[in-house]
Structure 1
Amino acid sequence: MRLILAPMEGLADVYLRRLITAQGGFDRVVSEFVRVVDQRLPERVFYTVCPELLEGGRTRSGTPVRVQLLGNHLEAMAANAQRAIELGSDGLDLNFGCPSKTVNRSQGGAILLREPETLYRVVRSVRRALPEGVTLSAKMRLGFEDTGLMFENAAAIEAGGADELTVHARTKVQGYAPPAHWHELGRLNEQLNIPLIANGDIWTVDDYQRCCAITGTTDVMLGRGAIRTPDLARRIRKPDHTALPWSEYRVLLAGFWSEVRAQMPDRYCAGRLKQWVNHLRQAHTEAEAFWHRIRTERNVAALDRLLLDLD
């Protein structure tokens, strides 16, 4: 069993990565993507996206963090992969799954699932640039419009030299609409010679168990489920583990807000808090009540007071 925290652009930032991994249970974190165009990026770009590189490539609770790259320029992807490893990344991950229209228009992310040969060339270029023994992973979706190239895309990534493959169980067109198609991952797993990591709609321990039974793998990447339930990985490892009470969430929210307030400009703080609470309220009735108290508030001093009065 391996449990990995997913790279969720604009959501699983360093603040939530610290908070969630501190609850225990995760083997690894994949960072938000570093966008590669046509050049080797300066170190500050990597440190901005993945501040954990300044702390030995681990979260404060000790969970290894792997940098993810997004792009298609062979030489630039190779050069930036080398830089990520030099800066302390725990292996290297490639993004072939981002559904963002902006990213896809610039020939990055899921749009490459239309071109298995391009996937192969990108993976091969990065693999050749990495030192021996460094793990290269990739993440993809079932396809772009449909699953017609699912097997070819996975085979291309494997042939290019990836050591493991995470697959989100939807196409780009399907976005995040339920359900996740775990049965497709089961079909794919039968054809792969490298480990498959399942991703998509694992909200609970029961979901994890059903996903494993259908896909044939116990390795999963947790995304929005871990945002809603920060101790989900620990509960998967120990199903009898008592769920966090709301009193603990109050502590987590206060700590999260404190870090955000200390490190982000005031104009972004309110939105960052609301974004997480909006996810929490999908699973916690107490968060729903708190959401209604903060959803129209923009003043950080007022939010300070609301956090102090949180019950």
Structure 2
Amino acid sequence: MQIALAPMEGLVDAPMRELITDMGGVDWCVTEFVRVTDSALPWPTFRRLAPEHAGDWRTRAGVPVRLQLLGSDPERLAENALRAVSLGAPVIDLNFGCPAPTVNKHRGGAALLQEPALMQRIVGTVRQALPANVPLTAKMRLGFADTSLTFDCAQALEDGGAAAITVHARTKLDGYRPPAHWEWIARIRERVSVPVIANGEVWTVDDWRRIRAVSGCEDVMIGRGLVARPDLARQIRAAANGEEVEPLPWADMLVRIAAFAERLYAADPDGQYLPARLKQWLKLLRLPSGWPDEAGRLFDDIRPLKTAAACRQWLAAATAGR
């Protein structure tokens, strides 16, 4: 049984991957997508989105990091996949699930679920270009507007040469609205012979149990659930082993929030990135599966702050003596 940390653009970046994998329980994670258009991307693009390349493509905790590409040009995707491999990327993942309108407008992400033949050509072209020892995987949703092409898309990925398929159990138009249709993952498993990884609406240990029971998948990928509750994978791992683990106390979580802020501050002390990211994260931490009361109060305290220095100062005071 494996637990993967999902790629989420603008949310699960390198600092977040480090924080979550430090908590334990995660087997591997995937970068934010590298957008490929009509050219070979410069090396700094790969290094910026996957700084773990300098650590043998592992987070500080030693968790492997896979690189994800997004685009619709088979040849350019293959070219950039090779560039990533030359930088040491151990696994290449292809994005056929991003629901962002700006991405879909340019024929990327979930928009490709309307074109199974192109999906197969993309996977096949990239697979043919990669060394045989580098796995190629793909992530998809159930469809764009509906599920009429779900099986065609999954079959296209397998026929193209994907070694595994992660399925987010919603369509593009569903966005992130519950529920996730886990029963469709089970149907996809019946149609393809490669491993299928279940994804969508896992916020608690009970959700993990249910998605595995309904989908029939051993392996699960979790995105927002791990951002809202960074110790969720550790809780799941303990449950899988028949053990009990105490949920992370808020005091310890607050220390980790402060450390996360310090890393963002060091990268951009004068910009607006830290306040925006901190408020974005706290909105998830205050969900019912996280720390609704404590994170809610922290969000109210942080919300008026406009600068990185002010956020940093407030968190330093809040964690003093801990």
Q: TM-score range by the shorter chain?
A: over 0.9
Aligned runs of 1:210-289 on 2, under 5 Å? 210-239=210-239, 240-264=244-268, 265-282=270-287, 283-284=290-291, 285-289=293-297
User: In structure 1, how many angstroms separate the alpha carbons of the residues matched to 2:170 and 2:177?
Assistant: 8
The amino acid of 2:109's aligned partner reads: G
> After superposition, what is the alpha-carbon deviation per residue over 1:23-82, rounded to whole angstroms, capped at 9, x for unaligned?
111111100000001111111110111111122111111111011000111111111111
Checking the alignment, whether the CA contact within 8 Å between 1:53 and 1:89 is kept in structure 2 is yes
The amino acid of 1:46's aligned partner reads: F
Checking the alignment, whether the CA contact within 8 Å between 1:197 and 1:221 is kept in structure 2 is yes
User: In structure 1, how many angstroms separate the alpha carbons of the residues matched to 2:111 and 2:96?
Assistant: 8
Provide the residue aligned with 1:23 in structure 2.
23
Other structure's SS at 2:138 match: strand
User: In structure 2, how many angstroms separate the alpha carbons of the residues matched to 1:255 and 1:149?
Assistant: 45
Provide the residue aligned with 2:143 in structure 1.
143
User: In structure 1, how many angstroms separate the alpha carbons of the residues matched to 2:18 and 2:314?
Assistant: 23
- Give, in angstroms, the shift of residue 89 of structure 1: 1.3
Provide the residue aligned with 1:165 in structure 2.
165
- Give, in angstroms, the shift of residue 256 of structure 1: 0.4
Checking the alignment, whether the CA contact within 8 Å between 2:180 and 2:201 is kept in structure 1 is yes
- Give, in angstroms, the shift of residue 17 of structure 1: 0.5
Other structure's SS at 1:17 match: helix
Checking the alignment, whether the CA contact within 8 Å between 2:138 and 2:157 is kept in structure 1 is yes
Provide the residue aligned with 1:205 in structure 2.
205
Question: Given the alignment, which residue of 304, 307, 310 partners 2:315?
Answer: 307
Checking the alignment, whether the CA contact within 8 Å between 2:273 and 2:308 is kept in structure 1 is no
> After superposition, what is the alpha-carbon deviation per residue over 1:159-203, rounded to whole angstroms, capped at 9, x for unaligned?
000000001000000000010000111111111100000000000
Provide the residue aligned with 1:291 in structure 2.
299
Checking the alignment, whether the CA contact within 8 Å between 1:290 and 1:310 is kept in structure 2 is no
- Give, in angstroms, the shift of residue 93 of structure 1: 0.1
- Give, in angstroms, the shift of residue 267 of structure 1: 2.2
- Give, in angstroms, the shift of residue 218 of structure 1: 1.6
- Give, in angstroms, the shift of residue 132 of structure 1: 0.8
- Give, in angstroms, the shift of residue 247 of structure 1: 1.1
Please tell me whether residue 184 in structure 1 is matched to residue 184 in structure 2: yes
Other structure's SS at 2:207 match: helix
- Give, in angstroms, the shift of residue 309 of structure 1: 3.0
Checking the alignment, whether the CA contact within 8 Å between 2:111 and 2:144 is kept in structure 1 is yes
User: Structure 1 length normalisation: TM-score?
Assistant: 0.98
> After superposition, what is the alpha-carbon deviation per residue over 1:249-289, rounded to whole angstroms, capped at 9, x for unaligned?
01101110110100124322111111111111112121111
User: In structure 2, how many angstroms separate the alpha carbons of the residues matched to 1:25 and 1:293?
Assistant: 31
Checking the alignment, whether the CA contact within 8 Å between 2:142 and 2:171 is kept in structure 1 is yes
Q: Structure 1: which 5+ residue stretches go unaligned?
A: none
- Give, in angstroms, the shift of residue 235 of structure 1: 0.8
Q: What percent of counterpart residues are identical?
A: 50
Other structure's SS at 1:72 match: coil
**Count of residues paired in the alignment:** 311
Q: Structure 2: which 5+ residue stretches go unaligned?
A: none
Checking the alignment, whether the CA contact within 8 Å between 1:7 and 1:30 is kept in structure 2 is yes
The amino acid of 2:17's aligned partner reads: R
Other structure's SS at 1:32 match: coil
User: In structure 2, how many angstroms separate the alpha carbons of the residues matched to 1:268 and 1:223?
Assistant: 21
Checking the alignment, whether the CA contact within 8 Å between 1:110 and 1:144 is kept in structure 2 is yes
The amino acid of 1:255's aligned partner reads: A
- Give, in angstroms, the shift of residue 155 of structure 1: 0.2
Checking the alignment, whether the CA contact within 8 Å between 2:36 and 2:77 is kept in structure 1 is yes
Checking the alignment, whether the CA contact within 8 Å between 2:265 and 2:312 is kept in structure 1 is no
> After superposition, what is the alpha-carbon deviation per residue over 1:91-140, rounded to whole angstroms, capped at 9, x for unaligned?
10000000111111111100000010000000000000110121110000
User: In structure 2, how many angstroms separate the alpha carbons of the residues matched to 1:84 and 1:188?
Assistant: 30
Please tell me whether residue 155 in structure 1 is matched to residue 160 in structure 2: no
Moved over 3 A (4+): none
The amino acid of 1:130's aligned partner reads: L
* Superposed CA RMSD: 1.0
User: In structure 2, how many angstroms separate the alpha carbons of the residues matched to 1:123 and 1:131?
Assistant: 14
User: In structure 1, how many angstroms separate the alpha carbons of the residues matched to 2:124 and 2:225?
Assistant: 32
Moved more, 37-46 or 201-210: 37-46
User: In structure 2, how many angstroms separate the alpha carbons of the residues matched to 1:76 and 1:301?
Assistant: 41
